[in-house]
Homo-oligomer: A and B are copies of this chain.
Amino acid sequence: MDKFLERYSSVIEQAFGEYYRRHTSPEHLYQPVHYILSLGGKRLRPALVLLAADSFGCPLEKAMPAAMAIEVFHNFSLVHDDIMDRAPLRRGHPTVHCRWDANTAILSGDVMMIQAYELFETYRGDTFREVILAFNRVARQVCEGQQLDMDYENIEDVSQAQYMEMIRLKTAVLIGGALRIGGIVAGASARELEALEGFGTDVGLAFQLTDDYLDTFGDPRTFGKRIGGDILEGKKTFLYITARERASREEFERAFSLADEEEKIEAVRDLYRATGADQALREQIDRYTEKALAHVDRLPFSQPYREHYIRLARALVQRKL
């Protein structure tokens, strides 16, 4: 993470430290909320809310409740997604449904969604209305994206367009929404909000595609997860879809039918290289990074802030590509 975003992260941690004390009873409801929120993570989304507000000269304290709302919502979605995906670990710690149980994870997730809405109560008048409307739209789309992700597990012929739409909904709109909401709080114009959201959405797409790339071709020492996870799950990523379109059916099935896990990962990686799927993915990442940067030109920021946005867009896709 970039240095300037780290500055935001530390004030976010501080704000959450105080937040935990606000609601404590019933314990079994709020303990898991505090647990998941205190596992940390990059705090990328709330940092983007603060960045957007900061760029327009809005004090960080004013934007903080919105930043926290976005992070609480993001963590709500992680808690519920982890149940659905039967994930045992999140950020190296047991997921809420594993540490407690599925019922606890459902209900604590529910209350987190409500807490996100409550955090917006600090805003007034048109600002209040605009943040709630923007947030409603984002929240719905995140659910739709998660549904498509689950749907695509059971469909063989997912197209690239369908895949891009799924990651747009599941991941990118929340990043775009974080920037838009930061802009709303700061009083940005409708045109500026479009540019902020556009930047965030395109960065979000490039970010998710980079994650896909690293899941297959990343460095196991820095990626944090096992390399090849998507391959073993048969996940219909951009790489999978491109290779499936370009390879013969036999080639494709031969690689994916190998029983030994390491052999399978290696064979699929070779297939991705041979079909140029890896190259196509890198080009796709570049395309969305460039699209994101084009939005920065439509924003009225002074040079230091422009640099932040540009560095951010590059940093998110240059995580050891």
Binding site for B on A (CB under 8 A): 26, 28-29, 80, 83-84, 102-103, 106-107, 109-111, 113-115, 117-118, 121, 124-125, 128-129, 132-133, 136, 139-140, 143-144, 146-148, 150-151
CB distance from A124 to the nearest CB of B (A): 8
Q: Closest residue to A129 on the B side, CB-wise?
A: B128
Taken together as a complex, chains A and B put the C-alpha atoms of A114 and B110 apart, in Å, by 11
B26 contacts A144, CB within 8 Å? Answer: yes
Copies in the complex: 2
CB distance from A20 to the nearest CB of B (A): 16
B80 contacts A146, CB within 8 Å? Answer: no
18 contacts between A and B (CB under 8 A): A28-B150, A29-B144, A29-B147, A80-B110, A83-B102, A83-B106, A103-B150, A107-B150, A109-B110, A111-B140, A111-B143, A111-B144, A114-B136, A114-B139, A114-B143, A117-B132, A117-B136, A118-B140
Q: Closest residue to A23 on the B side, CB-wise?
A: B140
Besides A106-B106, A117-B136, A128-B132, 5 more A-B contacts (Cβ < 8 Å) are A26-B144, A29-B147, A80-B107, A114-B136, A114-B140
Q: Closest residue to A120 on the B side, CB-wise?
A: B132
Q: Closest residue to A86 on the B side, CB-wise?
A: B103
CB distance from A31 to the nearest CB of B (A): 11
Task: Pick the residue among B106, B117, B132, B133 that contacts A80 (CB under 8 A).
Answer: B106
Closest 3 CB pairs of A and B: A29-B147, A111-B143, A84-B103
Taken together as a complex, chains A and B put the C-alpha atoms of A117 and B84 apart, in Å, by 24
Taken together as a complex, chains A and B put the C-alpha atoms of A12 and B98 apart, in Å, by 41
Q: A26-B151, A151-B26 are in contact. Are A84 and B106 (CB under 8 A)?
A: yes
